[in-house]
Amino acid sequence: MVKIMIVGKCPLHKLNESVKTYMKTDKPAYPDFIKKVESWVAQITEERLKTYSVYECPDDKIIESMAALAKRYNFYASVEGYTFKMELLTEADAAIQEFLKK
């Protein structure tokens, strides 16, 4: 299984609009093969709210999963100033083992 992390940022003055967008029922659905692992609110400053969400998908569905997540998060990006980035994650021990092979 592959883990994909989404880091979202929302201007604080758009927080109410962002929450309303999040609560809408017509947002793009996640495919059955994507599982949400965790979501956190990491920082609230005078300027921005920062969130992290981690999803899990099968190794053979990475591209489809990233496309589906991008579609979902582009829906949230309809709120002016909302941005997100997507990152593939790997276990630290597995990454170290790969580095040692080189």
- What pLDDT does residue 77 have? 93
- What pLDDT does residue 99 have? 76
- What pLDDT does residue 47 have? 86
- What pLDDT does residue 42 have? 87
Q: How many other C-beta atoms are found inside a 10 Å radius of the C-beta of residue 49?
A: 19
How many structural domains does the chain have? 1
Structure pTM?
Answer: 0.85
Task: Provide the domain limits for residue 77.
Answer: 2-101
- What pLDDT does residue 39 have? 94
- What pLDDT does residue 97 have? 79
User: Which residues does the chain have with pLDDT short of 70?
Assistant: 102
CATH number, domain with residue 62 = 3.30.70.260
- What pLDDT does residue 34 have? 97
The residues, ordered by sequence, that sit 6+ positions from 11 with a Cβ below 8 Å of its Cβ are: 47, 48, 80, 81, 82
Distance CA 25, CA 42 (A): 25
